[in-house]
């Protein structure tokens, strides 16, 4: 990680200090994804299978989440693991049920004119669950359970095959906890293409979905972007690419805890990015030294090292300036490890999830606290939030008017319509004003 004095930088230097890893916007990624999309649109399942064999080594495969499959998966895991998955799934369900949007009461703005905000689930959702080098079954819980709570009729979950081409038992158990009936071993941009255009395989069919959800690497993030740009293409939840963590630490922050949290995100992906911001140069240096110590012996140390090469340790002059830096960056995850962490939350306006105080490890949120860990990356947190139950729903207004209410409001609408030069609008209002 590179140590930077924030106040020694000009505007361009500050932009560079907060820049994401360059491969996230590599033109070559976009070109290959476009090639995959064009091929899948033209050849359907055959193209999906060809790209899957080429990139992942295996053809797409449907895994039925049957009672026998679930029982076998549970036997393959220690009881402590299945118990932990159960607790995590319950917490995710509790949080999302409690925060599910409800229809508003009817609001009377003019006597006899009533309006309501109503919520409805979307019809179908494609759920991308990262996998391959690590089976992120936690992401399956964080997507499929909120979708189920929202009432989505069709949930299609896809995840890359592991090295041996078999699903991790925890993925099957998580799918069962989320009430899924099937799981597709299919990853990468070709999975997003299949969810976008549809694909019929020998063992089942993936139908096009209305909205795409889930985090992924640069290829998946680009595929979601291209899918949403298609005429009539699916909506997407947000840019959710490689993981990000920014830690604000004061002079008293525990270097051991801060370093552990930085490494917990750096090990995700070579394109993951971690930032450390503090007003204490001494603690910045202590935390960086601790990162080096803890890096030794990590199973994914090689991945973490490449990620740390894109990391930054930024020296600021105050906690308030640290918050300004955080808001400029707009991190996926923000950890505030300061004595006055609760007070600093009020200064934060751009973060996917905020972890307040040393006890609130980001890892708790990754797995079991309750809120979904599918969060905006690449600065999207400045305008977008993470996945919630509302992400799987759409809102609409319902409007009603009595005869008296229409007579009272119609002249106002007609006057405004004529002011805009829309005579047909005005006449439609006049008809309501003249009745009775």
CATH number at residue 57: 3.40.50.1980
**Claim to verify: residue 10 and residue 52 sit in the same structural domain:** no
Placement of tokens 């400029």 in the chain: 328
Per the structure, the complete domain to which residue 408 belongs is given by: 402-434
204 plus 146 within the same structural domain: yes
- Counting as low any pLDDT under 70, the low residues of the chain are 23-25, 436
Structure tokens at 123: 């019809």
- Boundary-marking domain end, from 176, 210, 239: 239
Domain boundary among 212, 239, 266: 239
How far apart, in whole angstroms, are the C-alpha atoms of residue 135 and residue 86?
A: 17
d(CA 208, CA 44): 12
Q: What is the pLDDT, as a whole number, of residue 44?
A: 97
Q: Are 197 and 44 in contact (CB under 8 A)?
A: yes
Find, among 196, 174, 177, the residue nearest to 186 by Cα. 196
Contact 147, 127 (CB under 8 A): yes
- Is residue 102 classed exposed, middle or buried when 0-12, 13-18 and 19+ CB atoms within 10 A define those classes? exposed
Residue 436 is predicted with a pLDDT of 60
Q: State residue 143's pLDDT score.
A: 98
Over residues 249-262, the pLDDT tens digits come to 999 999 999 999 99
390 domain residue, yes or no: no
Structure confidence at residue 435 (pLDDT): 76
Residue 382 maps to a domain: no
Residue 381 in any domain: the answer is no
Which pLDDT score, from 0 to 100, does residue 214 have? Answer: 95
Q: Which of 248, 245, 262, 258 has the alpha carbon at shortest distance from 316?
A: 248
358 and 299 within one domain = yes
Catalytic residue from among 290, 332, 362, 373: 332
Question: Quick count: other Cβ atoms within 10 Å of Cβ 230?
Answer: 12
Are residue 147 and residue 230 in the same domain, yes or no? yes
In angstroms, the CA 21 to CA 303 distance is: 14
pLDDT of residue 134: 74
- Rounded distance between C-alpha atoms, residue 363 and residue 260, angstroms: 10
| % the chain with pLDDT above 70 | 99
Position 26 scores a pLDDT of: 74
Which among 179, 207, 239 is the end of a domain? 239
Q: Looking at the domain assignment, is residue 342 inside a domain?
A: yes
CA distances from 61 to 56, 187, 202 (A): 12, 11, 9
pLDDT of residue 348: 98
Backbone dihedral region for residue 188 (phi beyond 0: left; psi -120 to 50: alpha; all else: beta): left
Residues whose CB falls within 8 Å of the CB of residue 398, separated by 6 or more in sequence, listed in order: 106, 115, 116, 118
Rounded to the nearest 10 degrees, how much is the dihedral formed by the CA atoms of 181, 185, 187, 193?
A: -60
- How many structural domains does the chain have? 3
Is residue 397 in a domain?
Answer: no
Find out whether 203 and 77 touch, Cβ atoms under 8 Å.
Answer: no
Q: Classify residue 394: in a domain, yes or no.
A: no
184 and 157 within one domain: yes
217: CB partners within 8 A, 6+ apart:
130, 241, 242, 269, 271
* Among the listed residues 174, 164, 142, the one whose alpha carbon sits nearest the alpha carbon of residue 77: 174
User: What does the pLDDT read at residue 24?
Assistant: 63
Task: Verify that 9 and 66 share a domain, yes or no.
Answer: no
Q: Residues in the chain, how many?
A: 436
How many whole angstroms separate alpha carbon 264 and alpha carbon 269?
10
Residues 220 and 262 in one domain: no
For residue 139, tell me if it sits in a domain: yes
Q: Is 333 a catalytic residue?
A: yes
pLDDT computed for residue 25 by the predictor: 65
User: Among the options 96, 168, 333, 373, which is catalytic?
Assistant: 333
In a domain? residue 107: no
Residues 91 and 201 in one domain: yes
Helix 169-177 crosses helix 79-98 at what angle (to 10 degrees)? 40
Same domain? 167 vs 229: yes
Same domain? For 61 and 140 the reply is yes
pTM of the model: 0.93
Is 332 in the active site? yes
Within this chain, do residues 274 and 296 fall inside the same structural domain, yes or no? yes
Q: Are residues 161 and 215 in the same domain?
A: yes
Give just the sign of the alpha carbon dihedral 371, 372, 377, 383: negative
Give the chain's end-to-end CA distance (angstroms, integer): 76
């Amino acid at each position: 990680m590179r140590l930077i004095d924030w106040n020694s930088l000009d505007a361009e230097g500050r932009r560079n200090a907060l820049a994401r890893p360059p491969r996230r916007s590599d033109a070559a990624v976009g070109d290959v994804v476009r090639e995959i999309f064009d091929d899948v649109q033209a050849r359907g399942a055959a193209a999906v299978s060809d790209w899957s064999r080429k990139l992942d080594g295996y053809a797409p495969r449907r895994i039925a989440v049957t009672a026998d499959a679930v029982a076998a998966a549970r036997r393959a895991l220690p009881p402590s693991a299945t118990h932990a998955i159960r607790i995590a799934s319950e917490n995710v369900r509790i949080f999302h049920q409690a925060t599910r949007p409800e229809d508003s009461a009817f609001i009377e703005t003019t006597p006899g004119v009533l309006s309501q905000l109503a919520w409805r689930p979307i019809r179908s959702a494609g759920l991308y669950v990262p996998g391959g080098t690590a089976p992120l079954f936690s992401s399956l819980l964080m997507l499929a359970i909120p979708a189920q709570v929202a009432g989505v009729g069709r949930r299609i979950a896809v995840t890359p095959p592991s090295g041996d081409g078999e699903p991790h038992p925890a993925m099957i158990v998580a799918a069962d906890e989320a009430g899924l009936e099937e799981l597709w071993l299919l990853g990468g941009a070709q999975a997003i293409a299949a969810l976008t255009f549809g694909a019929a395989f020998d063992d089942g069919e993936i139908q096009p979905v209305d909205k795409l959800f889930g985090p992924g690497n640069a290829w998946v993030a680009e595929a979601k972007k291209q899918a949403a740009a298609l005429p009539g293409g699916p909506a997407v939840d947000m840019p959710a690419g490689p993981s990000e963590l920014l830690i604000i630490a004061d002079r008293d922050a525990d270097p051991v805890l801060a370093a552990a949290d930085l490494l917990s995100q750096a090990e995700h992906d070579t394109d993951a990015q971690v930032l450390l911001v503090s007003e204490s140069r001494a603690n910045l240096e202590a935390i960086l030294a601790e990162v080096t110590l803890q890096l030794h012996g990590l199973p994914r140390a090689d991945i973490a090292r490449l990620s740390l090469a894109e990391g930054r340790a930024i020296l600021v002059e105050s906690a308030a300036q640290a918050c300004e830096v955080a808001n400029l960056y707009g991190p996926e995850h923000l950890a505030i490890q300061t004595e006055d962490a609760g007070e600093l939350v009020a200064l934060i306006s751009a973060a996917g999830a905020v972890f307040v105080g040393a006890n609130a490890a980001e890892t708790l949120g990754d797995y079991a606290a309750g809120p979904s860990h599918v969060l905006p990356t690449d600065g999207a947190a400045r305008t977008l939030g993470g996945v919630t139950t509302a992400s799987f729903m759409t809102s609409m207004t319902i409007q009603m008017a009595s005869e008296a209410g229409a007579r009272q409001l119609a002249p106002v609408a007609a006057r405004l319509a004529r002011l805009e030069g829309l005579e047909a609008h005005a006449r439609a209002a006049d008809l309501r004003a003249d009745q009775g």
